[in-house]
């Protein structure tokens, strides 16, 4: 339960611990960024992983001339194959930092089409703002919105923490917000990091394992009412939740510090286990609180938090899946849609959690959930109808005229616009009947009363009908009707 009044804004031991951990994540990430930016780079945005999939150069972010071209696939640097580079970057302790000044070239071997090409690629230290401008130029407004969502997440986390510094949920939100903020800082780690002393492979700065997923688990165990682990072990539980994943990854790294493949195989079990634990806690949390919570405030907080978490998981994680699938297509439409959905999830989670933790306008959540369900289902239905109409009409045009016609798109658009209102009514009635049965039943009662009232002229009969209708719809403890003559 939240503490109200002046006491709620006083820091306690838990508040200082959460603030210290958030600052550690922030400053640790900042040091990692500074380290990354001192390494000379070819300045190219690339996809792939030298240890897994092929590295393909996509766009030059540095605004400097480069012999590389978009679509080149990396084979080797200075005669060292890309997989060996990845192995070398893992064994950071065995490397020495070469004294490279800006402009020093390195010999890249790339596959260009069907030809193997050797290029002397100049390396430069690229300023963070230059890299960020290149990302905006390459990704467009989507990159800007992603940056804004990260700053928004951090701002919400700080604001809620200052308003409720004793609230365990506010601690978790501050830590998630800090992780998202520093995730947005352009910490480019070029391929040439393999030639530098490399810090342990981000195990201390793995935002998801060290901050985001543990915070979501802690949030669910502590809010709106503490569940058994946090209630029984209020200090030990958060320590285990946050420390266990990071300590496990670091231990695995030390055991496999000269075996990159071994480390990646072992660490994958940690990531999988952490994801499964998070999903398991989510299911238990939804079931337990949905069944046991009785207080009006707690149920409203639970509803807001559920809406935020599901928005984070479904659009956010679902967007990542589309992002992955979109990268596999030639046009990348799935990538654009996936990134947009992810940003929506990142915006909704902090907003819903802030409302739940600070108890501001809690009881509008049913209306928001209802409208979200209605318009999501409506958008999906209209989208399916639109695509089916376009495909069907284009097939008919091709069959009868021998070529495609833009008239199919026009007709499908007009049909979708004409179906919007009737289809919305059907969807809303279906969702109300399935998920908001009491509201649906009450509306049916009122509609039936309105129909009877239009036919009834006797005042006493109408008054009795009013009382019966109100009693059936609202179930009040007492009911009286005053008639002014």
User: Above 90 in pLDDT, residue 117?
Assistant: yes
Phi and psi (nearest 5°) for 75?
Answer: -110, -45
3-class SS of residue 58: strand
What pLDDT, on the 0 to 100 scale, is given for residue 1? 44
Answer for the pair 18, 164: CB distance below 8 angstroms, yes or no: no
Which tokens in the block code for residue 180? 């998202």
User: Above 80 in pLDDT, residue 435?
Assistant: no
178 or 199: which leads in pLDDT: 178
Q: What is the mean pLDDT of residues 270-292?
A: 88
Q: What is the mean pLDDT of residues 223-241?
A: 92
Q: Which residues of 265-286 are buried (b: 16+ CB within 10 A; e: fewer)?
A: ebbeebeeebeebbeebbeebb
Residue for token digits 């289809």? Answer: 423
Q: What is the mean pLDDT of residues 280-306?
A: 87
Q: For residues 284 and 231, what is the distance between their CA atoms, to the nearest angstrom?
A: 16
What pLDDT, on the 0 to 100 scale, is given for residue 218? 94
Residue for token digits 């390195």? Answer: 106
Q: For residues 121 and 463, what is the distance between their CA atoms, to the nearest angstrom?
A: 89
Residue for token digits 């009363």? Answer: 449
Q: What is the mean pLDDT of residues 443-470?
A: 67
What pLDDT, on the 0 to 100 scale, is given for residue 295? 82
Which tokens in the block code for residue 391? 């495909």
Full DSSP string of 356-418: HHHT-SGGGHHHHHHHHHHHHHHHHHHHHHHHHHHHHHHHHHHHHHSS--THHHHHHHHHHHH
Q: What is the mean pLDDT of residues 295-305?
A: 86
Please, is 193 exposed, middle or buried when counting C-beta atoms within 10 Å of its C-beta (0-12, 13-18, 19+)?
buried
What pLDDT, on the 0 to 100 scale, is given for residue 374? 72
3-class SS of residue 44: strand
Least confident of 37-46, 103-112, 162-171: 37-46
Range with the largest mean pLDDT of 322-326, 410-414, 449-453: 410-414
Q: What is the mean pLDDT of residues 119-141?
A: 81
Q: How confident is the model at residue 109 (pLDDT cuts 50, 70, 90)?
A: very high
Domain residue ranges of the chain, discontinuous segments joined by +: 6-35+160-173+199-366, 45-159+174-198, 376-435, 439-474
Q: What is the mean pLDDT of residues 266-295?
A: 87
What pLDDT, on the 0 to 100 scale, is given for residue 201? 47
What pLDDT, on the 0 to 100 scale, is given for residue 333? 46
Least confident of 101-110, 139-148, 335-344: 335-344
Percentage of the chain lying above the pLDDT 70 cut = 69
Q: What is the mean pLDDT of residues 439-465?
A: 65
What pLDDT, on the 0 to 100 scale, is given for residue 2? 43
Dihedral (Cα; 89, 90, 96, 99), 10-degree rounding: 20
338 or 35: which leads in pLDDT: 35
């Amino acid at each position: 339960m939240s503490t109200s009044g002046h006491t709620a804004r006083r820091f306690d031991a838990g508040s200082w611990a959460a603030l210290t951990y958030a600052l550690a994540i922030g400053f640790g990430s900042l040091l990692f960024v500074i380290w990354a930016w001192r390494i000379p780079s070819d300045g190219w945005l690339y996809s792939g992983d030298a240890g897994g999939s092929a590295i393909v150069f996509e766009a030059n972010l540095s605004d400097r001339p480069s012999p590389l071209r978009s679509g080149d696939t990396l084979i080797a640097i200075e005669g060292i194959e890309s997989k060996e580079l990845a192995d070398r970057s893992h064994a950071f302790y065995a490397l020495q930092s070469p004294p490279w000044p800006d402009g020093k070239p390195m010999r890249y071997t790339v596959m260009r089409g069907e030809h193997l090409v050797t290029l002397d690629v100049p390396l430069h230290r690229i300023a963070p703002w230059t890299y960020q401008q290149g990302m905006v130029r390459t990704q467009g407004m989507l990159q800007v919105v992603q940056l804004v969502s990260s700053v928004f997440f951090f701002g919400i986390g700080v604001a809620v923490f200052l308003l409720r510094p004793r609230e365990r949920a506010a601690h978790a939100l501050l830590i998630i917000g800090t992780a998202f903020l520093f995730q947005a800082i352009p910490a480019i780690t070029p391929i040439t990091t393999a030639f530098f002393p490399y810090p342990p492979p981000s195990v201390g700065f793995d935002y998801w394992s060290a901050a985001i997923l543990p915070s979501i688990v802690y949030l669910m165990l502590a809010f709106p009412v503490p569940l058994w682990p946090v209630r029984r072990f209020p200090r030990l539980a958060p320590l285990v939740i946050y420390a266990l994943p990071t300590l496990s990854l670091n231990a695995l790294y030390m055991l496999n510090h000269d075996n990159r493949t071994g480390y990646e195989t072992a660490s994958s079990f940690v990531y999988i286990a952490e994801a499964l634990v998070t999903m398991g806690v989510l299911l238990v949390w939804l079931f337990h609180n949905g069944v046991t919570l009785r207080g009006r405030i707690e149920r409203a907080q639970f509803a807001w938090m559920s809406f935020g978490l599901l928005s984070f998981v479904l659009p956010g994680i679902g967007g990542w899946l589309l992002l992955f699938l979109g990268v596999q297509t030639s046009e990348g439409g799935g990538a654009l849609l996936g990134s947009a959905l992810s940003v929506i999830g990142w915006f909704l989670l902090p907003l819903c959690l802030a409302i739940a933790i600070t108890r501001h306008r809690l009881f509008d959540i049913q209306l928001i959930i209802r409208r979200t369900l209605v318009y999501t289902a409506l958008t999906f239905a209209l989208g399916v109808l639109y695509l089916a109409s376009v495909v069907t009409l284009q097939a008919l045009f091709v069959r009868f005229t021998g070529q495609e016609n833009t008239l199919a798109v026009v007709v499908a658009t007009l049909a979708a616009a004409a179906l919007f209102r009737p289809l919305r009514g059907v969807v809303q009635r279906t969702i109300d009947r399935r998920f908001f049965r009491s509201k649906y039943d009450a509306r049916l009662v009122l509609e039936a009363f309105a129909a009877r009232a239009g036919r009834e002229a006797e005042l006493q009969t109408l008054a009795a009908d009013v009382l019966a209708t109100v009693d059936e719809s609202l179930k009040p403890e007492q009911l009286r009707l005053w008639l002014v003559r």
